[in-house]
Structure 1
Amino acid sequence: MKSLQYFYLALLLVLLIPGGCKKDPPPVIIPEASDEKKFIYNALSTYYFWEKQVPSLSKALYETNKDSLNAFLNKSSDPEALFYKLLYKYGEVDKFSFIVDNYTELDDWLAGVSKTVGINFKLYYIDNTSNKLVGIIRYVYKDSPAEDAGLKRGDIFTHINDQQLTDVNYKSLLFTNVNYTMGFADYNGTTFTLNGRSVALTPIEIMENPILLDTIMDVDGIKVGYLVYNGFSNSYDVKIGTTYDIELNNVMGRFKNGNISKLILDLRYNSGGYISTAIYLASMIHSTNTSLVFAKSQFNDLLTSYYLTNYGQDYFNQHFQDKIPATGNTPETPINSLGIGEIYAITTSETASASEMLINGLRPYITVKQVGTNTYGKNVGSFTIKDYIDNAGTVNPRHRWAMQPVVLKIANSADFSDFTNGLSPDIEASEYAVDLLPFGDPEEDLLKACLDDIRGVKSAAVVRLSPFRPFKSTSDMSPLNRMMYTDKIPPLPEDIR
């Protein structure tokens, strides 16, 4: 009987002890992060120029604990949120990196393909008291609906589908792939008034030819080549049967055969493009001596170590070139080089990245007279990064995400790269928003400033301030605005580490 009492007493004590009958909690199972999130993390921690400045990108944090990396990645609601979370001071320092969920869309952008009516315009506030906007066409794409409709540089519009443009509705009215009718206006120096002209436009898929105009001008007996060049594109255009690199080379061949002694390169709306095209253009202007260094690339520590080990110090140098390599559609092409010692570069705040690389890269070798206003100030470039699963360029079939992060900084052969505030003009001039003369007109403000200097006329700076507050331009709405990029496929992260 006593032993039974001891048994019940022991049982009671066990029941009264907190946790006495509790089992150990099951281990927390952290789900594997998605392929998309792992791709974003691995790419940024490997290639991103500011990788060292983002503590979360340090692989050392997660090398011994895969679960902690999965937990970190899973905190972000979606791949896009994770990407922008991992950028260094996005919007302040890194203003350029971006990501897309469909790399076909990115490939089209890089090729210069978009669905558009074919106009480049800028929007301004009509006055300082309302949100109403006026649009001014700056140029029209070749072989576009806008060109077919007779639209031209300097045309003014205020209405789309009978609705006044505002800073609220401009996106829905102008940047949708649907038909619309544009209502045009006149400006009398004070107000804009509808003039009764309207044009119906239907967007189509267009590849923009960056060579808008090339001509040879006679300036008091001096032969001057004038080129309006709007983007460093290397795409193959079936309409002209060649690449834009080769077409650019053909233009320089015509200039060379025309015995020009001066070149005016109009980059006022050129916000960038391929680094390789900038190198070819520099070679067309100055020299095909491939021993000369045009520019230098700087990468993060990881990529620098990889490239140095595998390719040597000269990998970081971008040399002048004597030929444009063959492509699937075009043969190897010798570069037509002018070999001139001075050029004029027309610039504005929209002149950026590869345009600035060209100006900065040529300056150690020739005189570049910059005419206009300060450039934008972008000295960094990017790779197109997809989720490659081998060195042959095969992409992970389980998703279509791709990114265009900043991966490199560009300096010239003298190691100068400090132009984040823009490159300053030697001759100040500007175009007047409501009085845009055709390109090539010798009285057009920016071209005239160049021609006056060639003639030896020391005119005062022609800076006519716009009476209207600028809002946005077509370029501002482009995802590749101010981008500078290389067409090389980067090595796989696992090959680098």
Structure 2
Amino acid sequence: MAGFVLTLSSCNKKVDDVSPQTTGTTSENSTIDNWILENMRQVYYWNDKIPANPDTTLAPSDFFDSILYSFDATLRPDGDRFSWIEENATDLTAELSGQTKTTGMEFTLYLRTSGSTDVIAQVLYVLPNSPAEQAGLKRGDIISKVNGQSLSTTNYQSLLLGDATTYAFGMAQVSNQALVDTDVTKTVTTAVYQENPVFLDSVYTIGSKTIGYLVYNQFVPAPNGSNGTEYDNQVDAIFSKFKAQGVNELVLDLRYNPGGYTSSSANLASLIGKGVDASKLYFREEWNATITPELQKEYGSDFFLQKFSTKAQNIGGNLSRVFVLTTDWTASASELIINGLRPYMTVTTIGTTTHGKNVGSITITDDTGKIKWGMQPIVFKSFNSLGQSDYATGFTPSVEVEEPITLYPLGDTRDALLNAAIGQITGAGASSRLGATQNPLKALGSSIQRKAGGSQMVRPIKNLNL
């Protein structure tokens, strides 16, 4: 396995020197495709399913797709839904660290009415000091037009999810239980923005219950370009505060968290778990049969084990349970929290069924700089300390609550999901709450699906040379 190098959250395989090529030529495609193929045959979780003689003249993105063991509900229900490739490895690593060119807001797309082709976008949250916040956009706002064009099923992708730099958002509002366009337009110009995943924290005291609440939107240890743990340290500080204030119930809001680095997931779990320390298993990884013996030989069996950390800020001693708020976009490292903590305490999920991603990836780049592409292939499946990994179709909520069309600010106790959690904690939430909050509009998707590939569990790996 000569020349295989994994560094911090990346896997770099050296290639032979190649002379400069014209972009997109068959020769260049072949060079890049063979680099892709060599790496994938080594680390891809389904490497035994890669075609024997794939066409290495294809454009790299097409070639990458052609060798995947792609998911098919009937033919390949155990297949790959998550591997992806990008033309610029620098952009890939930036996205995984929360840095993107963005308006600074995330939104859900809905059909405006049943059977219609009209579409609206509802703002889920707005990042602080972002262009969207500066334009006055806020959670719950409804967008019906972009640059003067009404949104529809045929144009919303190009209008909202294209490469534009300036957007004039035409606003709508709910009036007498109907959506009505207004004359209000809010103009936003995109900017490169580093998102802090630690969005909001609060403490609520209700009777004998001191409830800690954290909105955490991506598992990222530090800003792009940093090798530190600045964001993990912020999470530590929040739990230090929770501990000092005597928090005895916890609501973890992962409804908009599509995943991220397993190291940050382990850090957060280590602050919550009851009776956990560095001797206890958070999860283990199962890699393919080709690379497993090589990794075992070089690094020992501990390579595949992610233990908890012993954290002074851990509040598990005051908790018997944790409540996790979920939606369809709760994925990967977020689901790892649910699965990894269940052997140690009661985990109650509130919201809608999670995405269903029990596999993880690494970032592969070429450290010679000859190839600019970066890829994020699935390389392992995760299992908790009880050997459980049965959530490929998502975690069904313990208490089902859909987000309504009227949204309150995150952290407002009137928010449907937070209110349901508080009801469960205080005993005011009866079983009748199950399905109580229904949204009549049909969801088409969310901008969160584009966030770092949509749903990632990324293993940060240092100094792996085989």
| Smaller-chain TM-score bracket | 0.7 to 0.9
Which of 382, 387, 403 matches 1:415?
A: 387
Which of 347, 361, 364 matches 1:385?
A: 364
Corresponding letter in the other structure for 1:124: Y
Query: What is the match of residue 441 of structure 1?
Result: 412
- Tell me the CA shift for residue 38 of structure 1: 1.7
Unaligned runs of 5+ in 1: 1-29, 57-68, 323-333, 388-394
Distance 2:338 2:267 in 1: 13
1:467 paired to 2:440: yes
- Tell me the CA shift for residue 277 of structure 1: 0.5
Q: Cα–Cα, structure 1 residues 237 and 396, in superposed 2: closer, same or farther, change >3 Å?
A: closer
Corresponding letter in the other structure for 2:39: A
Query: What is the match of residue 367 of structure 1?
Result: 346
Matches for 1:23-38 after TM superposition, within 5 Å: 34-38=30-34
Structure 1 range deviating more: 456-465 or 422-431: 456-465
1:82 paired to 2:63: yes
SS at match of 1:301: coil
- Tell me the CA shift for residue 145 of structure 1: 1.4
- Tell me the CA shift for residue 170 of structure 1: 1.8
- Tell me the CA shift for residue 397 of structure 1: 2.5
Contact 1:344 1:370 in 2 (8 A): yes
Residues 88-132 of structure 1 show CA distances to partners (whole Å, capped at 9, x for unaligned) of 125652111111121011011111111111111111111234321
Corresponding letter in the other structure for 2:439: S
Matches for 1:293-372 after TM superposition, within 5 Å: 293-322=281-310, 336-339=313-316, 340-372=319-351
Structure 1 or 2, whichever has the larger Rg, is 1
Q: Cα–Cα, structure 1 residues 409 and 237, in superposed 2: closer, same or farther, change >3 Å?
A: closer
Residues 213-237 of structure 1 show CA distances to partners (whole Å, capped at 9, x for unaligned) of 1000011231110111111111238
Contact 1:115 1:177 in 2 (8 A): no
Distance 1:406 1:142 in 2: 33
Structure 1 range deviating more: 230-239 or 241-250: 230-239
Contact 2:104 2:131 in 1 (8 A): yes
Corresponding letter in the other structure for 2:270: S
Matches for 1:396-411 after TM superposition, within 5 Å: 396-411=368-383
What is the TM-score with the length of structure 1 in the denominator? 0.82
Matches for 1:223-302 after TM superposition, within 5 Å: 223-236=210-223, 243-286=230-273, 289-302=277-290
Q: Cα–Cα, structure 1 residues 91 and 113, in superposed 2: closer, same or farther, change >3 Å?
A: farther
Q: Cα–Cα, structure 1 residues 238 and 42, in superposed 2: closer, same or farther, change >3 Å?
A: closer
SS at match of 2:36: helix
Distance 2:221 2:272 in 1: 17
Which of 456, 464, 485 matches 2:427?
A: 456
- Tell me the CA shift for residue 242 of structure 1: 6.8
Corresponding letter in the other structure for 1:283: S
Contact 1:237 1:244 in 2 (8 A): no
- Tell me the CA shift for residue 458 of structure 1: 4.2
Corresponding letter in the other structure for 1:97: S
Contact 2:356 2:391 in 1 (8 A): yes
Residues 419-459 of structure 1 show CA distances to partners (whole Å, capped at 9, x for unaligned) of 11111222222221x21111122222111111111112242
1:150 paired to 2:136: yes
Matches for 1:44-123 after TM superposition, within 5 Å: 44-56=40-52, 72-74=54-56, 76-90=57-71, 93-123=79-109
Q: Cα–Cα, structure 1 residues 242 and 95, in superposed 2: closer, same or farther, change >3 Å?
A: closer
- Tell me the CA shift for residue 478 of structure 1: 3.2
Contact 1:84 1:90 in 2 (8 A): no
Corresponding letter in the other structure for 1:444: D
Q: Cα–Cα, structure 1 residues 190 and 274, in superposed 2: closer, same or farther, change >3 Å?
A: same
Q: Cα–Cα, structure 1 residues 237 and 261, in superposed 2: closer, same or farther, change >3 Å?
A: farther
Contact 2:341 2:347 in 1 (8 A): yes
SS at match of 1:352: coil
Contact 1:275 1:484 in 2 (8 A): yes
Corresponding letter in the other structure for 1:291: S
- Larger RCO (alpha carbons 8 Å, 6+ apart): 2
Q: Cα–Cα, structure 1 residues 233 and 190, in superposed 2: closer, same or farther, change >3 Å?
A: same
- RMSD of aligned Cα (Å): 2.3
What is the TM-score with the length of structure 2 in the denominator? 0.87
Query: What is the match of residue 403 of structure 2?
Result: 431
SS at match of 2:128: coil
Unaligned runs of 5+ in 2: 1-25, 74-78
Structure 1 range deviating more: 245-254 or 472-481: 472-481
Residues 322-341 of structure 1 show CA distances to partners (whole Å, capped at 9, x for unaligned) of 3xxxxxxxxxxx65211233
Contact 2:84 2:453 in 1 (8 A): no
Which of 159, 165, 182 matches 2:145?
A: 159
Corresponding letter in the other structure for 2:106: N
Instruction: Tell me how many residue pairs correspond in the alignment.
Output: 429
Residues 298-325 of structure 1 show CA distances to partners (whole Å, capped at 9, x for unaligned) of 0001221112212222221110013xxx
Residues 140-187 of structure 1 show CA distances to partners (whole Å, capped at 9, x for unaligned) of 111211212222111111011221011222233223241121111112
- Tell me the CA shift for residue 288 of structure 1: 5.5
Structure 1 range deviating more: 264-273 or 31-40: 31-40
Structure 1 range deviating more: 292-301 or 418-427: 418-427
1:477 paired to 2:459: no
Structure 1 vs Structure 2: percent identity of aligned residues?
35
Contact 1:224 1:264 in 2 (8 A): yes
Query: What is the match of residue 459 of structure 2?
Result: 486
Distance 1:317 1:242 in 2: 21
Distance 2:130 2:229 in 1: 19
Which of 176, 189, 204 matches 2:191?
A: 204
